[in-house]
A = this chain, B = another copy of it.
Amino acid sequence: MLIVMRTDAAASDIERVLNTIHSMGYTGHELAGSTRVAIAVTGNDGAIDPAHFENLPGVAKTIRVTQPYKLASRNGSNIRPAVKVGTSEIGGGSFAMIAGPCAIEEREQVMAAAEAVSRSGAAFFRGGAFKPRTSPYAFQGLGLDGLKLLAEVRDRYGLNIITEAMDEHGVDAVIKYADCIQIGARNMQNFSLLKYVGASDKPVLLKRGLSATLEEFLLAAEYVMSVGNAKVILCERGIRTFGNHARNTLDLSIVPAVQRVSHLPIIVDPSHGTGHNYMVTPLARAAAAVGADGLIVEVHPHPERALCDGAQALTTDQFLDLARQLTTLLRALGPDAVAASTSSMSEQ
């Protein structure tokens, strides 16, 4: 931590700060600038609460230096290992495609979507049985019946299943039927839920909160990991800004930012990230080109009849076309092109 003193700080103010640092068992280093003094703190193991200093006389502000996450950090390693999900894996140099409808509605819908997803060559199927909806009057999902349909998809198509849980009961059910527990954007800082999935050994797909900073995102992953579950996959799904041409603003710059400081895989959701059918394919291409470890995309055999988020779902034909475009794009870029541009990305 760096404590910046006011230009009018008295010698006794500086002394008091140094004494406070000393009493905490740390070392203070006085750095005299041209107009004011700054005091650096060393010897601390984790982050220091700025409250110890911010209201002391003569203190202008405090600046934190120590990064607060540990397990989610790269820690100097060049390896970004894959996370195993069912019979396949996400990260580690491969490109994962996860697709399926927003909500599980009924058998015919699920199977038509699954058939297309399977045909595209994707290894993962998504679909919500428990739906977090902004309005209590909107369709809330099929619950257990939805999970059973998902299990049927796995049996029939060999696809690995990713589905959301919203509470402890939901986690227990999802663990029983699926391969990966999704934590939604609105629950990214539901710390009780994060600890609960941290105690399981299922992989966790953690979506970025609508207004989460990179640090908060990684600290949410750290919550899961600190309990013992290291199998976390991050997902960018758009952030909330003043912009109104899309439902959210897809922040692709977080992909290289995460890859620079963390070993965790990061995928992109262009469906929730844009909210409009016509934007999904271009932004999906962009996510692949930026170097994301995969995509999660909404596909529906009849978007106009969807009970949830139909406006952003691709038709099965549009999805198969996207899959073809991505294959071409990823083959062209190749591992070398991507590697060349990320070669300078060791841990921060």
Contacts and interface: CB of A to CB of B under 8 A. Distances in A.
A213 interface: yes
- Report how many copies the assembly holds: 4
Interface string A51-67: 11111100011010110
A132 B137 CA distance: 28
B193 A167 contact: yes
Interface string A236-265: 000111111110011111111100100000
A76 B8 contact: yes
A229 to B, nearest CB: 12
Interface stretch (A90-98, A115-123, A279-287): A279-287
A88 interface: no
A18 to B, nearest CB: 15
A255 B282 contact: yes
B46 A137 contact: yes
Interface stretch (A35-43, A79-87, A105-113, A149-157): A35-43
A256 B243 contact: no
B347 A6 contact: yes
Contact of A65 (B2, B7, B304, B306): B2
Nearest to A227: B136
Contacts of A288: 289
A347 B54 contact: no
A320 to B, nearest CB: 11
B38 A34 contact: no
Contacts of A304: 20, 51-53, 55-56
Given A55-B311, A69-B135, A285-B341, 11 more contacts: A31-B40, A33-B42, A49-B306, A49-B310, A53-B304, A239-B242, A239-B243, A249-B249, A278-B345, A283-B290, A325-B337
